[in-house]
Amino acid sequence: MRALQISDFESDPELVEIASPEPAAGDVRIAVQACGLNFADLLMSRGKYQERPDPPVTLGMEMAGRVERLGPGVEGVAVGDRVAVFSGQGGLAEQAVVPAARCVRLPEAMSAVHAAAFQVAYGTSHVALEHKARLQPGERLVVTGAAGGVGLTAVEFGALMGAEVIAIARGTEKLEIARQAGATHLIDAESEDIRGQLKALGGADVVYEAVGGDLFRQCFRATNPDGRILVIGFAGGEVPQIPANHLLVKNLSVIGLYWGGYLGFAPEVLTGSLARLFDWYAAGRLQPHVSHELPLDRAVEALDLLRQRRSTGKVVVTMP
């Protein structure tokens, strides 16, 4: 089978031919139909992600496809089932072996492309805003990177939860996409004095922050007393340092969220969240935004779309 792999953390990913994997006890083999890309794939390819598997590594954290073989002892999943899986790696391949326990059956109406674009983006924002920040109707939610994979779903959820959403993104095209997802106010990430603009709108009650660097600092300074700041990631490359005295004076809470980390200590948080999200999708309440759909032999190009920030919503790689 073909797979997009890195041989070490200094080399670029390459499409290679490798042997088809065989499922061990408790695993299933998936015929992959689509793989959703994430900024974390770029970090993993350079050994900078929270989890650092030893090369060679097949990239691709989330996938959708059809179960084609069961390992010993597998129950609850059958050959032929259409499933989505958050695997952490292995999705950019024609086949993947994954734990059966991580397979989530898809609603009949959900395409493989939407399924591959769904779990990380919607799961992150749902757990962040509902489980961690306890976002309330009428609160003011600021979303940075608001046209990106997770940011756009945060805008969508904020609007569904009755918040007043302020979207921060780069350029009019990306801001328009955030507006269509439910943002009330739009701020260009390249404009001056973002803190002043946020304060003029009444400040932030909750900040969904996925960029880091100076943008984090400006949002931090515009957060209202008793506000909550969700640390989602650092797409801008700079991990901000937080002045603890400001937390004290303004009674602020800074809340970290590594969505995949729940698999290690409280997987029911993710499985419960995803079950609700798939129900909402089936009911027409959620509309995944996929800006680019490319075949596996263009997977390097697909990753470059993320690296160059030329995508909105999700980029999905499809298999033949």
CATH number where 206 lies = 3.40.50.720
Residue with tokens 């300074």: 221
Task: Tell me what pLDDT residue 263 has.
Answer: 87
Helices 149-160 and 119-126 meet at what angle, rounded to 10? 50
pTM of the entire predicted model:
0.91
**What's residue 275's pLDDT?**
86
Judgement on whether residues 100 and 15 belong to the same structural domain of the protein: yes
In a domain, 272, yes or no: no
Residues 228 and 246 in one domain: yes
Tokens of 25: 């006890």
Closest to 207 measured CA to CA, from 149, 122, 139, 147: 139
Q: Examine the domain organization and report whether 152 and 252 are in the same domain.
A: yes
294, 301 contact by CB (below 8 A): yes
Same domain? For 104 and 141 the reply is no
User: If you ran DSSP here, which 8-state letter would residue 163 be given?
Assistant: -
Q: Does residue 266 sit within a domain? A: no
* Tokens matching residue 302: 């697909």
At 205, list the tokens.
């009650």
- For 114-272, list the strands marked E by DSSP: 140-144, 164-169, 185-188, 204-209, 223-231, 253-256
DSSP state of 224: E
Q: Please tell me whether residues 249 and 156 are part of one structural domain.
A: yes
* 99 and 129 together in one domain: no
| Burial status of residue 138 (CB atoms within 10 A of its CB: 0-12, 13-18, 19 or more) | exposed
- Residue 164 and residue 221 in one domain: yes
**CA distance linking residue 202 with residue 57, whole number of Å:** 46
Please tell me the predicted confidence (pLDDT) of residue 264.
87
Task: Name the phi and psi angles at 141, rounded to 5.
Answer: -110, 125
Q: What is the pLDDT of residue 210?
A: 96
Instruction: Give pLDDT, residue 258.
Output: 94
Q: The domain containing residue 243 runs over which residues?
A: 121-260
Q: What is the total residue count of the chain?
A: 320
Do residues 121 and 101 touch, judged by C-beta distance below 8 A?
no
pLDDT tens digits, the chain, 320 residues: what are they? Answer: 999 999 999 999 999 999 999 999 999 999 999 999 999 999 999 998 888 899 999 999 999 999 999 999 999 999 999 999 999 999 999 999 999 999 999 998 999 999 999 999 999 999 999 999 999 999 999 999 999 999 999 999 999 999 999 999 999 999 999 999 999 999 999 999 999 999 999 999 999 999 999 999 999 999 999 999 999 999 888 999 999 999 999 999 999 999 999 988 998 899 889 989 999 999 999 999 999 999 999 999 999 999 999 999 999 999 98
Structural element, H or E, at residue 302: helix 299-307
Q: Which one of 219, 242, 260 terminates a domain?
A: 260
**48 assigned to some structural domain:** yes
Distances (CA, A) of 300 to 41, 60, 184, 235: 11, 12, 35, 19
Asked if residue 65 and residue 170 are part of one domain, the reply reads no
Count up the domains in the chain and report the number: 2
pLDDT at position 271 is 84
81 contacts 66 by C-beta, under 8 angstroms: yes
Q: Which residues contact 282 (CB under 8 A, 6 or more apart)?
A: 107, 109, 110
